[in-house]
Amino acid sequence: MTNDDARRVPLCHSRFVILSSFVIRASSFLVFFLSIFPVASRAGDNLGILGANPRWNVLEKYQGTITPDKFNRLIQDVYCTHGFAPDLIEINEKTARVLMNRESQRFFILRLAENETARKPVPRLWRPAKSLPPARPEKPLSGVKIALDPGHLGGRWAKMEERWFQVGNSQPVQEGDLTLRVAQLLAPRLRELGAKVSFIRNSNEPITAKRPDDFQELARKILIKNGVPQPRADVLDPNDPAKEQTIRWQSEILFYRYSEIRRRAALVNFKLHPDLVLCLHFNAEGWGDPNNPTLTDINHLHLLVNGSYLAEELEFDDERFEMIRRLLSRAYDEELPLADTIAVAMARATGLPPYQYPTTNSTTKVGSSDYVYARNLLATRLYRCPVVYCEPYVMNSKDVFARIQAGDYEGMRKVNGVERKSIFREYADSVIEGLVEYYSKARGGSRSPNAMSQMAPLTH
């Protein structure tokens, strides 16, 4: 469940009441609400929430590394599929001109390569699979640095994150706990296959040292700038439709979303330097009252890679800079086929249909599997390496709910009338199967029977 999606629950009684289109509109509204009037740190700065001043000069190293055709295609088909103001990016035959700041009318000029042969190699810290030496068949991931990012926090933070629901007296469902369990199953399996594995989070505690109280002043400023002149301090009733206009609600989201994910990005970019980040999530449909949640028959799967920036997101100097940096790093060339391969393996294991977003307002379907979308999420944008963001299983579907209640177990068991693996092992096994398939092929080795036996499910 992405952070934007979670917001559709509390917003369901607010101004957007058209249920069919409510998911995206509600989430777009929130992004708009939080970021359209950012609190600038300096005059002329135009930054998103907790955004850092862009360092455009670091893009100098990408001079001459991309052709006009490739640049154009990535802009049109992946990153800017919803259009943008004409002065932001201008692509010519030999250069691309990107607006750094509208007020000061400064531009970054990128020199484009004449053709593929003339272009310089792309500088990067992560290694594409095809640049790695061939691996022994039983160690198809040897040397691959994989960072696991179990989504959210779980534990005592789950209610605050609105990643919590409980049916009667059953075990509460907390997404942050479920994703951590999947990561902990994945790690030893990936290591057996040769990968160097790190955890971005390996407990129910945040990475950021900040807490909601640290953001009270910023929350107040954001609310005032967004037309709430005298914001209330606290949420009085959790079902209050106006709760997002309180200082508490805003300071909490600044903590668990913006501050936390930015800290995770710093860990990835300055310490871990992985070749791939796997963001692990479970999806949900709107469940209404978390103490009396709606269970549904709907269940589905999708994966996300970075892209599909909204025109208003591209207006922020930092987001535009981060988009261009990501484009030039060519992470997409690696993460798309990876996501496609993992998606096919997950679809095969779970039997889930591809999720269809109710509108195309914030996502763009990419790749060939039918399961992968481009979307501009904080994590997929900020982690400076290929990122595959997994969104299998609707937690409040009747079937997934029963499987979560059954917990983790070895082997096969009959749950909800069907004999199968634990949902956590099915998740982990299928991700591994996709990774093995991708890396074995991209590194030039073929998948031998040996590699297949290494992929034996966790249940054996």
Cα 394 to Cα 400: distance, rounded to the nearest angstrom: 6
Output 1 or 278, the one with its CB closest to Zn ion: 1
Please classify residue 355 by burial: count the beta carbons closer than 10 Å to its beta carbon, then call 0-12 exposed, 13-18 middle and 19+ buried: buried
CB of 290 to Zn ion, least distance (A): 15
Contact (CB, 8 A) for 310 and 45: no
Q: How far is the CB of 176 from Zn ion (least distance, A)?
A: 8
Provide, rounded to whole angstroms, the least separation between the CB of residue 2 and Zn ion: 6
Q: Is the torsion defined by CA of 450, 452, 455, 456 positive or negative?
A: negative
Considering the complex, state which of residue 151 and residue 206 has its C-beta at the smaller distance from Zn ion.
151
Q: Which two tokens stand for residue 325?
A: 């940096």
**Could you give the CA distance from residue 395 to residue 401 in angstroms, rounded to a whole number?**
6
Q: Left, alpha or beta for 154 (phi > 0: left; psi -120 to 50: alpha)?
A: left
Burial of 60: CB neighbours in 10 Å, binned 0-12, 13-18, 19+: exposed
User: Coil, strand, or helix at residue 289?
Assistant: coil
Identify which of residues 49 and 180 has a Cβ nearer to Zn ion in the complex.
Answer: 180
Work out how close the CB of 1 gets to Zn ion at its nearest, in angstroms, rounded to a whole number. 3
- Amino acid identity of residue 158, one-letter, is A
How far apart are CB 299 and Zn ion at their closest, in Å? 16
Which residue is associated with the tokens 């990408």?
A: 62
Supply the Cα-derived Rg of the chain in whole angstroms: 22
Q: Between residues 201 and 443, which has the closer beta carbon with respect to Zn ion?
A: 201
Contacts of residue 136, defined as CB under 8 A and 6 or more positions apart, other chains included, come to 142, 194, 445
Residues 6+ apart with CB under 8 A from 275: 126, 127, 128, 129, 144, 145, 146, 385, 386
Residue number, 140 or 151, with CB nearest to Zn ion: 151
Q: What's the min distance (Å) between Cβ of 356 and Zn ion?
A: 18
Rank residues 281 and 320 by Cβ distance to Zn ion and give the closer one. 281
Helix (H, G, I), strand (E, B) or coil at 419: strand
For Zn ion, give the closer residue by CB, 185 or 304. 304
Task: Report the residue number, 3 or 440, with the smaller CB distance to Zn ion.
Answer: 3
Tokens, residue 8: 């559709």
Q: How far is the CB of 389 from Zn ion (least distance, A)?
A: 9
Shortest distance (Å) from residue 8 CB to Zn ion: 13
* Contact residues: Zn ion, CB under 5 A: 1, 151, 281
